[in-house]
Structure 1
Amino acid sequence: MARSSPTLENLVTRVAARLMPADVASHRDAFYQVLQLLYEYFGVEGCYLRYHDHDLAAAVLVAEWPPQAHGAEPDTPGVLHFRDADPAIAESEYSKEPRVIREPAESITSIPLLWGEVTTGTLGLVAPGDRVWTDDELDSLRLIAALLAQVQARIRAEGDLRYAAYHDSLTGLASRRALLEHLDARLGRGNPGPVGVLFLDLDRLKALNDFLGHRAADTYLCRIGERLMQVNRPVDLVSRLGGDEFVVVLAGPATVADAVERAEEIQRVVGESVSLGGQLVGRGVSVGIALGEPGEISPVELIGRADQAMMVVKVQGGNSVGVFTDDMTQEGERRTLIELNLRTSIDDDHLVLEYQPEVDLRSGAILGVEALVRWNHPVLGTLQPAEFIDVAESTNLAGELGTWVISTACARLAAWKERIPGLDLTMGINVSPVQLVAAGFDESVASVLRRYGLRGAEVCLEITENVVVGDLRRTRATLSRLERLGVRIAIDDFGTGYSSLGHLKSLPVDTLKIDKGFVQNLHRSEGDRVIVNSIAGLANSFGLDLVAEGIEVEGAVPYLLELGCRRGQGFLLGRPKPPGEIEESVARGYVDLPWTTGRGRVFGVSRRTS
């Protein structure tokens, strides 16, 4: 006897409640719960969920109810190739509508999981005899299949981001994040040591790049990555930092002799010629070695020492091996000088802000600017944030520096509003992890807004992903208070550090800013396009704005627009400039885009209406 519609509605609601919080860690349990609900509600003999692997041309079993007893022979294999499967499976490969396969003793109802135009899986119900399904029941099963397809898409996107966070997009080697996490574990107090690190830099890669082109250089880097995996042991960590730099962490305690022997073997293997474009090319490699005792050095310091040793080799002509010694202290002295001068520079007007526009990629309309701090050091010259922000955090100056940046940026926005009637602009301001979790941070922001007569929505605080996955409880509390002020929140450099879906759902975030590393090669990197597509899907799923950073070539723009990303930053759109130089563009309200196709119009979009 068919159930009433309200009961079916209740079933769909219960299914949705179990699927909405599902993530990588919990989705299989959620699937089993959903199948159990369907099994009990419809009184069928069994339910199953299969995902379609179209590359493999197979349906892969994800969950079934009742579950098979431990050790029992499965009724059907976990992987069923469509060409060999029975009709219930084979005909589901591209099916778009529910189908009922009737057999003498049972009937199998197959409900497709659809994501756009693609059939991504099948929800199956096995019923005794010739069960007849009502239209209401089939409609409810369609809704449940749609929910399962959404979870499937989210999990795949999350998996893409997780893989991107821990693997280099070009070579597939371990990423910088994976390297740092590995070293952090190895260098924990009480672990066996010394820990040996080899820093590799290919010699004269730029000449090869200029001569044969980017594609050939990328192919060469991939070949080098393969050789590094072959010459090192599976228990060693091989990572690519970017460009032509690689790092190898030797497994187990290492001696200088061990490290030198490995480095020389790497030199020999890497130095062998590679065939590119019908030509044999080869490059030497400079290797720096550093050893560190667990509990006595940080990952960044150990890598830095190996890097210093490599640079000494480079200066001496390259293609050799060098070992870090205590007299390699130039960088240490530079850091000390920065530490000594930073506090006074905050008070002595040596710090300045430059502003980079964020624009509508269709029209060039300026939607906001990002405030970027610079330090005019009297001895070292102009320093970028990467050279002193970590020093500020390690010396408890991050709060003082951050307060100066927020106050100065808001004062600038207030001054522009006074001189430019009707100005509608968002000021983006970077916030450090230390600053965000400091007591009274939201009160400090509120005070600055009142002082300069700004609305909260005119300010967007940009936080990095390590803030999201760090002190989540305090971060959530602070961001909630900022949300009540109307302040917007953006996750900066998104995709490099991997934020889980659970974190995104629980935090009042407005915007994802795609890391420039994925954008700069978007026009020629299928891997980067896959990642950006996943990020765009996440932003759309959670109703977040999307901004692409690092737009430096025009070829990336069509891909971004196709994915629905209409906001961007980068040198192609506008470099960071002092306030006096950028004010004219701010007053005009737009920047001229290289792809403008008519007066005031881009891709058919008017600046006035964008």
Structure 2
Amino acid sequence: MIFNVASSARYSTAHYPIVLVDSHTLEPWQTNLTLTHPTWGWGLVTGSVGIALVVLWLRLNRLAKLLKKRNQQIEQLKATDALTGLANRRELYRLGTQKLASRSAEPWALLHLNLNRFRLVNDALGNDVGDRVLRQVGHRIQAETDSYEVIARIGSDTFSLLMAGDNEQANQVAEQLLSTLDRPFQVGGHIISVSGSLGIAIANQPTADPSSRNAATPIKFGQLLNQADIAMSWVKHSRAVLPNELLDSDIREWPFHAIQSAEKLGLQAQYGQSRCRFFEPQMQTKMRARSQLQQALKRAIVNQEFRVHYQPIVDLETGQTVGFEALVRWQHPNRGLLLPNDFLPAAEEIGLMVALDQWVLETVCQQLANWRQSGVQRQPLLSINLSGTHLSEPGLVSYLRALLTRFSIPAQQLTLEITESVMIAKPQQAIKTILALKMLGLRISLDDFGTGYSSLDYLHRLPVDMLKIDRSFLHSLGGNQAESGLSRAPSDDRPDIRWMRQCPEDTIRTAEALAKMNSAIAKPPLRSLAPNPGIPNAIPSGPRSDEVIVRTILLMAEGLNLQVVAEGIERSDQLQFLKQMRCRYGQGRLFSDAVSAQYVPALMS
């Protein structure tokens, strides 16, 4: 082995400790190599020692290369999503920061796409199928989307796309992203349909001020990420207000009252707005307020800030109070008494519905026990709302059994109110649970009937005791009979009952047959799906439409031997119409607002 050693002295001495391993016995042995040679001179090492040095140098060189390659692989893994091969959130942040800094004069758009209710795919078909769907989604986005700089998977079911472009260009790419999900995915013999909620944030967008038309508001990439998250969450929250079974269907097939709900959400301009929104500054303010509300809700249960009020349910023929609906209220320390619509959606988002339901159930049972001990002669029948989350809890039946035993409450004294959407989401599980509740002796009421996809198939299979007509149908009832169509002569046209579920078809045919049983029913002509400037092909509303709906519900209930309670009675003309249609029970402000427990005995007497 030939080598060169530099030294400031005339002669240089170098010491080399060497450890060698016997290839047969694998026993190590050590020796020291001492070399003395002239400065800048050449030395020659021969024999076994020289060979050992050559091998050592080769091994060290190979080790250095392996370490370099391994470090590159580690950096690649840090930057890549292992499932889809796309960039991950860390790499998106790094690249986004670089691009915004190097091309700060250009507008940039960040799009966040979340797959709606994707957890149901994993729950129903398994995580393996869900992973394969996610990979297909990533591949489709790459193959079918143009004009992007970075595509990343930043969450379990969330993808992100960074692109150079303004609002118009971002909107075009958003349409491409959403269209990639319109076609079902085929995985392992399963055909899976998914939908998305998409939020968009724009950086370096020119200001609207003509004097600074070319100026751009600087923004850091971390802020852009936060804004896109907020816009996406805003879309998901807006969608959560609508029934799940409507979200992914064509809006032209929606029932009229679902369209009304969409209009209240500001979705009337186009259906796409319910799937995609640009970030707006007020979103952040409202989301912050919502977060504060959720934190206050968590403290409210601990601080006993909730109250239960009771609204009378009245026999419309006799005017006698026959029961009450227990309604939860929140005595907020700063905002006063809040109604359920002000806080229940937030409670559901943070998983407080089961705890809140249990608090209401225990409070009501304790109150019934107190009335019994205080000698109240007529014990009221009470209705309690049960959330869909609580209905799906596996321990619900045993919990209620223990609750009835602890307070010595007859099961027949309580009615559990559930909504139609619970039936649609998990019908088999809901039927099984409701049958078990009926075995305890509890009564079951189907709340807000008519606002969802009502199906006679569910009514026939479910052991339901009562239907509650939603208050939205009562607003236009009553009034002048000539205007409402009560004096119209019967015609051969079918009543407008397209508010019911289009599938299965036997639902509509059965409802039509029930409607024809009553010769006194008004039968307005079937309305055409005339274009609506807000929503395409919306079904017009009006007194006759709501009256037909209420009549049909009452006829169905009579044919199925179910009791009916009309909610939201506020005027005497509404009361008279319901009495003419032989609706037996009702509740509303015409009789009494919801009151605290101390006034219940007086109302019963």
What TM bracket, shorter-length normalisation?
Answer: 0.3 to 0.5
TM, length-normalised to structure 2: 0.46
TM, length-normalised to structure 1: 0.45
Greater radius of gyration (CA): 2
